[in-house]
Amino acid sequence: MFHFLFTQPLFNILVVFLNLFHDLGFSIIAITLLIRVILYPFFYKAAKNNLVMQKIQPHIQNINEKHKDHPENKSLALLALYKDNQINPLSSLLIIIVQLPILIALYSVFHVGITPDSLKDVYSFITTPTIINNLFLNRVDLLLPNLLIIVLAGLFQFIFGLVSLPKNTNPKDPQYLIAKRMLYFTPILTVAVLWKIPSALGLYWLTSSLVSLLQQLYINRKLYGSN
């Protein structure tokens, strides 16, 4: 069922791009851009919620202090506060949940690559590529790990985390402290994950991180202003 709902459709979209570009690397970049455009509303909603959460932190702290001995009352008060400000505190978790099946499906696709066996999954209305080329720019074998792609993916993940840090926030605020730790942990995790897997997935990760960075810069400008 997972293969039918996620892996096969993504594989066929990749084949369509491969027929257009005749380069697996550019095809991966294209499918990454398509996915990011589709998921942009989720990212924007999550970023907007984070901004509102920062603004209402004093109210949250007051509620925590006022109802510290009454957990049920605290929960009800927090829910009312979230409702009044039209936010969902779980929106950041939602974007992870939405991306997870896509990432798993893409790993399955890139782990195998474009091979005669995998081409059996091509839909009948899509042209099957006559030339199978797993190279990017005729140089990088995307079925093998690539150090440059791994390093760049980790670097852009770090820069993305940097521009995603909460603005105008108390350095001792728990939300800020968690984000600060993730700023260093996520790039390390990125490098560790990509170290021994096909660089096709690394190229997806790199492109996704770069697009996330550009989207976050746009969202920051839109929500925070030019400052």
pLDDT of residue 118: 82
Long-range contacts of 151-154 (CB under 8 A, 24+ apart): 151/191, 152/206, 153/190, 153/191, 153/194, 153/202, 153/205, 153/206, 153/209, 154/187, 154/188, 154/190, 154/191, 154/194
Could you tell me the pLDDT band of residue 12, with boundaries at 50, 70 and 90? very high
pLDDT of residue 79: 85
Q: Is 180 exposed, middle or buried (0-12, 13-18, 19+ CB in 10 A)?
A: middle
pLDDT of residue 25 exceeding 70, the answer is yes
E strand spans, the chain: 135-136, 140-141
pLDDT of residue 85 exceeding 80, the answer is yes
Average pLDDT over residues 13-28: 90
Highest average pLDDT, of 84-88, 130-134, 142-146, 170-174, comes from 142-146
Taking phi over 0 as left and psi of -120 to 50 as alpha, with beta for the rest, 141 belongs to beta
Instruction: Please give the share of the chain, as a percent, with pLDDT higher than 90.
Output: 17
pLDDT of residue 86: 80
pLDDT of residue 113: 73
More confident residue, 55 or 85: 85
pLDDT of residue 167 exceeding 70, the answer is no
Residues 203 and 140: their CA atoms lie apart, in Å, by 11
